[in-house]
């Protein structure tokens, strides 16, 4: 009996985990604009300590043991014929190709600033992006971080700790940062921001220049809709959460009014046979939380149930965001639960227990050792 073919469109954090789970039972083809996993997690660590970030969040596909049976295509998705069960890809050599599928998993994520982009990149392109952003911030005397979400507060804390002589200010529209997190998490993170020397500016909603997509670190003054004095800094980091779903290659009738993929509670695309969506691109709930709640396991079970006629399970989003906010710090890693309480991994355990055993062996099911990409960490 022929094995069913599953195409996974997008091999970011969620796509890789989904491919790992499905490869045991199906022929899996993964399509990615990058030559390996380039995670969208932990922006603050990525900017301030790119070598540390790359060690755990930038991994070649050939290093994942569980992806040995997955055929990866380095290319850009250009279209989909959902009735014919095919997707079109322009590969790294510029050749247009068609990939047929029995089931399609859409996990192309979102574009959000310069750190999450849906453009075709080589390993050298990724390295240059890491190095350029790091050097740009390290050479500044002052940094303004715009935004109140996890990416913004993580960036502010990590920049302040990495370069103590830099004046770091955080501007956000609400009374507190992290409006989608539990109040206990907000309070704890505000304390960490103050301890790092970050100056907080609540009630400052930035006016985004027309046509600006937040894809660069800028130096122009930042104006605010409330009439406050403009902010001036050598480097302005925009982390305002203005995400754009990477869905231009899909038919409009499977998208909602914002361009995200419509899904049922079972993560199926309604009205289209054999198509699923997961991660930031999937309109599961207002927070699109399947990207951060290990929905890859549920999705893999539902894909298998689709082929066998079994019962599918429903995804139930949490009421608030949870997980790491600031990334690894000198005193360890804090992971916040949905109720706002934190569990701390002590610093010694990160590279001895958490990464090698829990992440690489447990979650990724084995990652081979390999050379790390050189990243300037001045």
Pairwise CA distance, residues 54 & 63, whole Å: 14
pTM over 0.85: yes
Torsional sign, CA 15, 20, 24, 28: positive
pLDDT of residue 254: 98
Which DSSP symbol is given to 177?
A: S
Whether the Cβ atoms of residue 188 and residue 150 lie closer than 8 Å to each other:
no
3-state class (DSSP) for residue 109: coil
Pairwise CA distance, residues 121 & 131, whole Å: 15
> Block means of pLDDT (10 residues each) for the chain, length 378 residues?
90 96 96 95 95 94 96 97 97 93 97 86 93 96 96 97 98 94 94 97 92 82 95 95 91 97 97 96 89 87 96 87 88 90 92 93 91 39
Domains of the chain (ranges plus CATH)? 5-121+244-308 (3.50.50.60), 123-238 (3.50.50.60)
């Amino acid at each position: 009996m022929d094995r069913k073919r599953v195409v996974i469109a997008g091999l970011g954090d969620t796509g890789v985990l989904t491919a790992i789970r499905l490869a045991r039972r199906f022929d899996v083809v993964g399509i990615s604009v990058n030559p390996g996993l380039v995670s969208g997690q932990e922006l603050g660590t990525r900017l301030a300590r790119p070598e540390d970030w790359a060690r755990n969040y930038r991994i070649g596909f050939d290093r994942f043991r569980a992806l040995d049976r997955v055929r990866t295509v380095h290319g850009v998705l250009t279209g989909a014929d959902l009735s014919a069960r095919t997707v079109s890809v322009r590969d790294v050599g510029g050749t247009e190709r068609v990939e047929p599928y029995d089931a399609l998993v859409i996990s192309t994520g979102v574009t959000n600033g310069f750190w999450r982009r849906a453009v075709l990149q080589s390993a050298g392109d990724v390295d240059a992006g890491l190095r350029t952003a790091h050097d740009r911030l390290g050479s500044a005397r002052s940094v303004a971080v715009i935004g109140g979400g996890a990416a913004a507060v993580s960036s502010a804390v990590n920049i302040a700790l990495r370069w103590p002589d830099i004046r770091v200010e955080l501007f956000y529209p609400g009374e507190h940062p992290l409006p989608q997190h539990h109040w206990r998490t907000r309070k704890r993170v505000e304390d960490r921001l103050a301890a790092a020397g970050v100056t907080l500016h609540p009630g400052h909603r930035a006016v985004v220049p027309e046509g600006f997509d937040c894809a660069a670190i800028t130096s122009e003054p930042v104006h605010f809709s409330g009439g406050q004095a403009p902010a001036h800094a050598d480097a302005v980091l925009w982390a305002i959460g203005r995400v754009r779903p990477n869905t231009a290659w899909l038919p409009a009738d499977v998208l909602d009014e914002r361009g995200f993929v419509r899904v049922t509670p079972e993560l199926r695309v309604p009205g289209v046979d054999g198509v699923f969506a997961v991660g930031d691109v999937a309109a599961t709930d207002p927070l699109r939380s399947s990207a951060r709640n290990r929905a890859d396991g549920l999705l893999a079970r539902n894909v298998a149930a689709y082929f066998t006629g079994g019962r599918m399970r429903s995804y139930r989003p949490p009421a608030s965001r949870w997980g790491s906010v600031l990334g690894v710090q000198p005193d360890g890693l804090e992971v916040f639960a949905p109720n706002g309480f934190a569990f701390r991994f002590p610093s010694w355990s990160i590279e001895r227990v958490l990464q090698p055993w829990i992440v690489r062996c447990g979650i990724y099911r084995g990652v081979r050792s390999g050379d790390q990409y050189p990243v300037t960490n001045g």
